[in-house]
Structure 1
Amino acid sequence: MHSGFVESDTAEQLLGRTHELLSDYRGRLEKIKSPLVSNEETWHTCALQAERIIRDCADSLRSGRADVRDRLIQQVEGLGVARATQGIDAVHSIRAGMILFDIVFDALGKAMVDSPAAFDGFQAGVRTLQQGIGRRLEAGAIGHDTYLLNTVREVNAASQRQLAREIHDHLGNHVSLALRRIELHELTWESSPDEVAVRIGAVKDTLTEALGIIRDLVTQLRRADREGTLESAFTAFLESMEITPSKVRIKVNGSEEWAPQDVLDEVFLVVRECLRNSLAHAEAEHVLATVDIAPYKLQALIEDNGCGFDVSEVATAGRANGIASCTERVELLGGTILFASAPEGTRVTLTIPLMDLPGDSVERAT
């Protein structure tokens, strides 16, 4: 009872210093000329996240166990998008997170000195501080990268549509006109009919072939704008399982041209396995899968709100479960995959480096 009272008192002491800690936080950001304090609106969003982290730390001091409010963290993904639209690089959020960690850690340490009996609460508070900042940085980075990747994808799609118009309107029109003129000459030329016929026939064959190539190019360019290898494969999978979009949402960001086909194939199999596990074993009501493809790496995140499982127990239960198979597939591509599960849901993250460039012969790690 006494220990609980001390921890509660320590938590109130930390909460009572919130304004002081936020003031120190802003002062340090201003000192390094961080764009996160360039205007009141941006600072307000930054201060709100810091205040939530401090409150989570206080709650952990009271309970003696790490406790981070995950639902609030999910909102930070939208904040990452906002940072990207403002032109604020993710490195500024990382610097801010390091500064906030130092400030709150010192505050927790002072509270520990004032109340040595609250050591369990201090440990829980530090864990909450680390997890609260880390998860927010991760969520913000996902939102930031998603925005940039989608922007690149939109630019690529616009370029493809423009190229398709240019080919059709200009090159196609000129070739068609030349073909028509030759057809007219066939009707009027009377000298050397045999020679003219041979020459015109060859030109017509060439131009006809060129028109066929142009039509194929235009068709491929327009198809590339509306279809993706992964997206179409996932769509077919969901349709075959009669899974509604309200239950499972899948999003592919970036250009699939940046990843080799074998990587895309393996990622599809891994994500599909995770989706099946979420629906069949976790009894999840909602599943979200996001695949982000950049020129240098591919990342995927699969989250559900199912019943969760004991990762360590399942991982050692034999190779019949999907974890071993997924892990092997990702590691053979030189990547990493992490499983995190709790009664509130499961989270799978995988990262695969895309280091192969045209002309390279570097083999992936095996």
Structure 2
Amino acid sequence: MSEPLQEPSQTTLSDQITALSPTILRDFEVALERAGSALLLDDLSRKQVLTHARDILARTAAQVGGHPTPVVQPGLAREIGADRAATNTSPTESLRAANLLFATVVRRVAATVDGPHATDHLILTALTLHEILTHTLRVAADAYVGVLLNRIHRAQIEERRHISRELHDRIGHGIGVAQRQLELSEIYWAADQDRALSRLRAAQHGLTGTLEAVRHAIAGLRLVEPVHGLEKALRLFLDSTATPELIHDIQVNGDESWVPATLIEETFLIVREALRNTVTHAQAQLVMVRIDLAPDQLQATVVDDGQGFDPAAGHRGTGLLSMKERASLLGGSLSLISRVGGGTHIELRLPVEGDTG
């Protein structure tokens, strides 16, 4: 009578993973360095990613050893997700790190375990590690998105405050002045018609300026023909906000029907903010916009010859942050190159997928 198959020694496997942990962590750090991971750009991020990897290995060892633990430490994963958002680090960096850790663990365990149950041990390790990594990435991603949504909410509040200031300072003031001129015209009419007419002309001039301010506000808030009017909308925005001295060239290549209408609108908002910065801060003589549409990708560049700035010194307001967050939430990226006196180059890349109807 043959002997029954023995179950894999999970306790032994747990001990092996624990003993391998220092070597795995060293291999993992080397793999991150070779991949040029953004997670190693500063000491804090390096310490964080290695501490997290050590925690994941400890949990993997515990679970394969038959000592159930939560598959993820929510506090640490949430902190990492929030920090990635705070430093504008793409979520793909975390996914790449998870893949490198998984490959490192599997390679080391495969080279170490032996015996009749070596394959079972390797499969158990891989499945357990995959479960822990999946849950970790999900918790971190939720925290990442939460931070971005909160920032966008704050940016929206700031935009509303900006609109309120514009309405009060420009439109409200202009209407108030025109109303006062009309009142004075009525007062002067009986005794001095020339003076009254002067007040009427002043009121007319004030209302004309106020009407232009209203048109300016509308152009900044609305996307005209959102599905098939990207180029037209951007030209309208520049025509209503830029000085005649600013030369601008806008090119939109490709068919907008390839791209979902919501993505076209988000692209408009991002590019419009870049142009707003050019008009407001750059003191540029030339700005060029090129948008290339394809069934799988949207790419946009905004280049000006303005005074530029030092990105390392920070940026003014929430405009650039809002642009980056919009791009990130859409699964894309936004990069900026600028130097003092050397103009600014902004590049937006967005994946295109889903129904375009």
Aligned to 1:45: 48
Indicate yes or no: 2:132 matched with 1:132.
Answer: yes
Quick one: which amino acid aligns to residue 139 of structure 2?
A: A
Q: 2:62 aligns with which of 48, 59, 62?
A: 59
Within a 5 Å distance, the mapping from 1:1-366 to structure 2 comes to 3=6, 6-63=9-66, 69-70=70-71, 72-112=73-113, 114-117=114-117, 119-190=119-190, 362-363=356-357
Quick one: which amino acid aligns to residue 103 of structure 1?
A: T
Kept in 2, the 8 Å contact 1:56–1:68? The answer is yes
Unmatched tracts of structure 1, length 5 or more = 222-256, 259-292, 300-352, 357-361
Please give the alpha-carbon distance, in whole angstroms, between the structure 1 residues aligned to 2:118 and 2:75: 31
SS of the equivalent of 2:36 reads coil
Could you list the runs of 4 or more consecutive aligned residues of structure 1 that deviate by over 4 angstroms after TM superposition? 1-5, 118-121, 293-299, 353-356
SS of the equivalent of 2:73 reads helix
Please give the alpha-carbon distance, in whole angstroms, between the structure 2 residues aligned to 1:68 and 1:139: 16
Kept in 1, the 8 Å contact 2:38–2:93? The answer is yes
Kept in 2, the 8 Å contact 1:37–1:43? The answer is yes
Kept in 2, the 8 Å contact 1:11–1:61? The answer is yes
Kept in 2, the 8 Å contact 1:298–1:354? The answer is no
SS of the equivalent of 1:116 reads coil
- Between stretches 151-160 and 19-28, larger displacement belongs to 151-160
Q: CA RMSD in A?
A: 4.0
Aligned to 1:265: none
* Deviation (angstroms), 1:129: 0.9
Kept in 1, the 8 Å contact 2:8–2:120? The answer is no
Identical positions, percent: 22
* Deviation (angstroms), 1:153: 2.7
Kept in 1, the 8 Å contact 2:71–2:131? The answer is no
Kept in 1, the 8 Å contact 2:64–2:128? The answer is no
* Deviation (angstroms), 1:175: 0.9
Kept in 1, the 8 Å contact 2:28–2:101? The answer is yes
Q: Tell me how many residue pairs correspond in the alignment.
A: 219
The superposition leaves residues 143-202 of structure 1 with CA deviations (integer Å, 9 ceiling, x where unpaired) of: 222222322332232122012112112321121121112112112213899xx99xx8xx
SS of the equivalent of 1:87 reads coil
Kept in 2, the 8 Å contact 1:14–1:107? The answer is no
Kept in 1, the 8 Å contact 2:38–2:89? The answer is yes
Distance 1:136 1:297, change over 3 A: same
Please give the alpha-carbon distance, in whole angstroms, between the structure 2 residues aligned to 1:68 and 1:103: 22
Kept in 2, the 8 Å contact 1:25–1:100? The answer is yes
Unmatched tracts of structure 2, length 5 or more = 222-264, 267-324, 332-351
Please give the alpha-carbon distance, in whole angstroms, between the structure 2 residues aligned to 1:139 and 1:14: 24
SS of the equivalent of 1:75 reads helix
* Deviation (angstroms), 1:116: 2.7
Kept in 1, the 8 Å contact 2:10–2:65? The answer is yes
Kept in 2, the 8 Å contact 1:76–1:136? The answer is yes
Quick one: which amino acid aligns to residue 101 of structure 2?
A: L
* Deviation (angstroms), 1:26: 0.6
